């Protein structure tokens, strides 16, 4: 929950503050090199031709300027050590709080062109600090800086892996695609700039909030300097008996100070600023920068007494303690020049990268919403057929779905047709009757094949009630999109083809031959849309199915049934990205991979270079069994995915799978594709490609009606997630019937289930361990034994959930339910969503 909450705040602050932080970042990057940019664009102002004669001294410059304009009020004169650098004279000017800088040729005393672009950088600075909105803007940028600190800290926590590798932390993976690449870019670049952004935020708040500034001084152990007006007021009182200084006396003061200081301070300087004295007290205030300063504001200060030729109150920057240097150089620390030119340059790049996180964050947010609401978005775009329109004018899209995939494609197809002003209605197959077939002239069937050639559970009524009839449908034009998996060779797309054959027998006319889709092959999906477009003469848009995997870290792997007579079962816990979520009953789809050993054997067998690393990355997820010498490696199909019921709920903080390790019994001995990859070849801390498949047909009901959970083997996974969710909802009318081989070896989740029973979250816990019984005792036998209780629960509105093997347990449980309840009631339960199955 902590991680989920942190993530929700992370993206919420990112959406609300991201644009402002992008502005702050870009303007900060520009302003970090303001002086260099100004000098580059104002060469005529900053650079002069070196003359044979020596530079004018400050007193000579002072005299020349007053000769030209006796009314000129000069505040200070800055002399540069570089031969080709101009001098700077700051004069008093109305409206300029810090005065106006005049660029002076140090060899002639002539005024150089005014520096252009200062106003632009002043605007950039205001935009950077307060969005040009004054005090209100300062509060906004300050709040955004606080959010930036949160982004840095929460980002580290949210990304923190269980197993650390340098490659994982700091290298972008260009081979990733879509959302995975965007997330990788967001996370990896974010890791690069963490230190810079934390420094930007902590120091940037110095100008936003007095309480933050006071806190920084206290934490750093430095006394906060008094405001300038207080210092100036004190100086006026101390100097009220001193005489006002004349221009000639100023000239003498500058002359003596320039010559005396140069002789008294042998270390030299790169620039020296002489403040024009206002009182005749024999002192001139100086600010100077060392020949090789730490940064542009590493300034030394001193007072030169030209009556005694002594330097008083010398404060050298290099003599300060580190904490004092930091607190008197906040701008260089903020922009990075405090740490040297290389750091400053990298800091500038980091600042420029700020919009990247806003853009990628928005994209990730949008893609996450799209992932969660794909079907919902399609449904929202659905146009309800007006009552005044005839059904024959509309397209009817019928879907038969077990895990929601066919339904999703149905709504996407609907949206594509509606964009072309077509009337469309969409119905689940169990809501179709003979009248629908008779009253529509155009029907699209999107049909999944479930298990080993079966119809989806909700399609059983259509098979029994509709496909057993003889209908005459010569008016009907139809098309079939059949979904399946070629791994089931004997039953590939079997139910979709059965529907097609039955329609042909009813004299219906196909738009085109059925399109078979192997594991949501995008090429087959594209063919569906293009075939529809050709048949209808409509320029239909292709709606791509959103299929992408996340990299999830394997946290733990536990062999739960050692010494069992059956195959090993492993409990696998995964750390998942914070924006992944699921509901109890959903499915985790994983992408198996080839091990390096398998790829090396394949390369060696086909006389390919086993030392070429390109092959290992290229073949990581390829089905190597389909290779032939006339085929390119790039064209090999991807390994088929594997699906597993999720045993945990998001509130537990991890995703748990229960996987039985399959292996061949004959040579060559091999592990199952998915189970071998997860249980044997994936190490703790490694990444597994995983995505959530919404299994709406197996979700919990939204109320406290009783539920009956029936399962065996690894089917306990889906049932455990439902029980965990019911516990969180404090719903206690739960009955579990579970079967395995031996209680002492195969009772997965024994402690958890007994704990749920002791807490009254299980009214009944009925167990059937077949190897502990003399003649084999299975869950269907337990059902028969509890027939009266079963009828009672069903009469009270109970919902039945079945999870486990389809060919044995699920089939025999179905037969037993029909035997106990009657076929008519079982069909009614199925069609009213009170009989739900997640079987495999």
Rounded mean pLDDT of 146-169? Answer: 78
Q: Convert the pLDDT of each residue in 180-214 to its tens digit.
A: 678 788 888 988 999 999 999 999 999 999 999 99
For residue 840, the model assigns a pLDDT of: 80
> What is this structure's pTM?
0.56
Peptide bond into 334 cis (omega under 30): no
Contact 416, 529 (CB under 8 A): yes
- The whole-number pLDDT of residue 165 equals 65
Q: What average pLDDT does the chain have? A: 87
238 has pLDDT over 70: no
For residue 356, the number of C-alpha atoms closer than 13 Å in the C-beta half-sphere is 17
Residue 817: what pLDDT?
94
Confidence bin at 487 (pLDDT 50/70/90): confident
Beta bridge partners of 303: 285, 312
pLDDT bucket at 371, cuts 50 / 70 / 90: very low
Token pair, residue 493, equals 């797309």
Map 575-608 to HEC letters.
ECCCCCCCCCCCEEEECCCCCHHHHHHHHHHCCC
CATH 2.40.30.10 residue window(s) in the chain: 550-693
Q: What is the CA radius of gyration of the chain?
A: 39
CATH architecture type of domain 381-536: 3-Layer(aba) Sandwich (3.40)
Q: Can you tell me whether residue 765 is helix, strand or coil?
A: strand
Cβ atoms 511, 479 nearer than 8 A: yes
Q: Tell me which fold the domain 698-839 belongs to.
A: Rossmann fold (3.40.50)
Confidence at residue 388, expressed as pLDDT on a 0 to 100 scale: 36
Report how far residue 10's alpha carbon sits from residue 190's, in angstroms, rounded to the nearest whole number: 13
> Cα(44)–Cα(521) distance, rounded to whole angstroms?
66
pLDDT of 632 reads 78
Least confident of 397-406, 541-550, 750-759: 541-550
Domain with CATH 3.40.50.360 in the chain: 381-536
Q: Are 663 and 672 in contact (CB under 8 A)?
A: yes
What per-residue confidence (pLDDT) applies to 10?
87
Cα angle 831, 832, 837 (rounded to 5 degrees) comes to 70
Please provide the DSSP assignment of 425-475 as one string. EEEEGGG--HHHHHH-SEEEEEEE-BTTTBPPGGGHHHHHHTTTS----TT
Q: Where in the chain is the domain with CATH 3.40.50.80?
A: 698-839
The CATH label, of 3.40.50.10490, 3.30.300.30, 2.40.30.10, 3.20.20.140, for the domain at 550-693 is 2.40.30.10
* 248-252, 666-670, 778-782, range with the lowest pLDDT: 666-670
**CA torsion, points 40, 45, 46, 52, in degrees to nearest 10?**
130
Burial 391-407 (b: 16+ CB within 10 A, else e): eeebbbbbbbbbbbbbb
């Amino acid at each position: 929950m902590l991680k989920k909450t942190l993530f929700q705040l992370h993206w919420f602050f990112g959406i609300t503050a991201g644009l402002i932080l992008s502005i702050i970042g870009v303007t900060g990057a520009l302003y970090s090199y303001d002086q260099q940019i100004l000098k580059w664009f104002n060469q005529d102002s900053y650079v002069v031709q070196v003359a044979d004669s020596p530079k004018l001294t400050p007193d000579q410059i002072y005299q020349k300027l007053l000769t030209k304009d006796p009314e000129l009020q000069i505040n200070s004169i800055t002399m540069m050590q570089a031969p080709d650098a101009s001098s700077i004279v700051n004069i008093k000017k109305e409206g300029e709080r810090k005065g106006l800088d005049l660029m002076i040729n140090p060899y002639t005393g002539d005024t150089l062109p005014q520096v252009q672009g200062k106003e632009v950088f002043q605007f950039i600075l205001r935009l950077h600090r307060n969005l040009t909105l004054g005090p209100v803007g300062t509060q906004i940028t300050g709040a955004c800086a606080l959010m930036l600190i949160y982004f840095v800290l929460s980002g580290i926590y949210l990304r923190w892996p269980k197993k650390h590798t340098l490659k994982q932390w700091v290298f972008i993976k260009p081979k990733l695609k879509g959302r995975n690449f965007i997330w990788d870019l967001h996370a990896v670049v974010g890791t690069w700039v963490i230190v810079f952004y934390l420094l930007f935020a902590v120091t940037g708040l110095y100008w936003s909030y007095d309480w933050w500034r006071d806190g920084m001084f206290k934490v750093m152990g430095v006394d906060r300097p008094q405001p300038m007006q207080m210092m100036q007021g004190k100086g006026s009182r101390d100097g009220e008996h001193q005489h006002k200084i004349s221009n000639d006396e100023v000239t003498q003061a500058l002359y003596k100070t320039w010559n005396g200081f140069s002789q008294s301070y042998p270390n030299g300087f790169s620039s020296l600023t002489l403040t024009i004295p206002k009182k005749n007290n024999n002192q001139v205030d100086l600010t100077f920068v060392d020949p090789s300063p730490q940064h542009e504001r590493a300034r030394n200060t001193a007072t030169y007494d030209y009556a005694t030729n002594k330097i008083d109150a010398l404060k050298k920057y290099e003599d300060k303690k580190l904490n004092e240097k930091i607190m008197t150089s906040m701008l260089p620390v903020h922009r990075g020049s405090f740490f040297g030119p290389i750091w400053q340059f990298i800091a500038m790049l980091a600042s420029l990268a700020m919009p990247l996180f806003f853009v990628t964050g928005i994209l990730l947010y949008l893609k996450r919403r799209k992932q969660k609401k794909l079907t919902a978005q399609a449904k929202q775009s659905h146009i309800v057929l007006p009552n005044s329109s005839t059904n024959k004018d509309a397209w009817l899209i019928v879907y038969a779905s077990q895990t929601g995939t066919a339904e999703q494609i149905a709504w996407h197809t609907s949206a594509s047709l509606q964009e072309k002003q077509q009337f469309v209605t969409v119905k689940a197959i169990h809501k179709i009757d003979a009248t629908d077939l008779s009253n529509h002239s155009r029907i699209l069937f999107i049909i999944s094949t479930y298990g080993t050639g079966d119809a989806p559970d909700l399609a059983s009524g259509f098979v029994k009630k509709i496909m057993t009839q003889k209908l005459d449908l010569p008016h009907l034009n139809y098309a079939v999109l059949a979904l399946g998996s070629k791994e089931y060779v004997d039953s590939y797309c079997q139910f979709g083809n059965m529907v097609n054959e039955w329609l042909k027998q009813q004299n219906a006319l196909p738009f085109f031959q059925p399109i078979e889709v192997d594991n949501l092959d995008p090429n087959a999906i594209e063919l569906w849309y293009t075939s529809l477009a050709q048949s209808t003469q409509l320029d239909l848009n292709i709606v791509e199915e959103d299929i992408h995997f996340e990299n999830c870290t394997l946290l733990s792997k536990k062999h739960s049934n050692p010494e069992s007579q059956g195959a090993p079962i492993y409990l696998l816990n995964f750390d998942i990205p914070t924006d992944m979520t699921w509901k109890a009953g959903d499915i985790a789809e994983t992408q198996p991979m080839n091990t390096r050993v398998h790829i090396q054997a394949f390369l060696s067998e086909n006389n390919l270079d086993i030392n070429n690393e390109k092959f290992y990355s290229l073949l990581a997820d390829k089905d190597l069994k389909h290779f032939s010498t006339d085929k390119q490696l790039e064209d090999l199909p991807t390994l088929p995915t594997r699906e597993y019921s999720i045993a945990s709920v998001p509130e537990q903080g991890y995703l748990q799978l229960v996987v039985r390790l399959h292996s061949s019994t004959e040579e060559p001995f091999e592990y199952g594709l998915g189970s071998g990859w997860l249980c044997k070849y994936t190490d703790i801390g490694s990444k597994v490609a995983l995505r959530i498949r919404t299994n709406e047909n197996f979700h919990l009901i939204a109320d406290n009606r009783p539920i009956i959970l029936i399962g065996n083997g690894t089917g306990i996974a889906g049932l455990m997630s439902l029980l965990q969710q019911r516990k969180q909802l404090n719903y206690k009318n739960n009955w579990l019937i579970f079967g395995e081989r031996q209680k002492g070896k195969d009772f997965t989740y024994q402690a958890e289930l007994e704990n749920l029973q002791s807490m009254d979250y299980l009214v009944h816990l009925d167990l059937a361990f077949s190897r502990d019984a003399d003649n084999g005792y299975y869950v269907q036998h337990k059902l028969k034994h509890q027939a009266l209780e079963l009828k009672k629960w069903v009469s009270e509105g109970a919902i039945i959930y079945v999870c486990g093997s389809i060919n044995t347990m699920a089939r025999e449980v179905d037969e037993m339910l029909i035997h106990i309840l009657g076929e008519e009631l079982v069909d009614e339960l199925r069609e009213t969503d009170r009989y739900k199955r997640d079987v495999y």
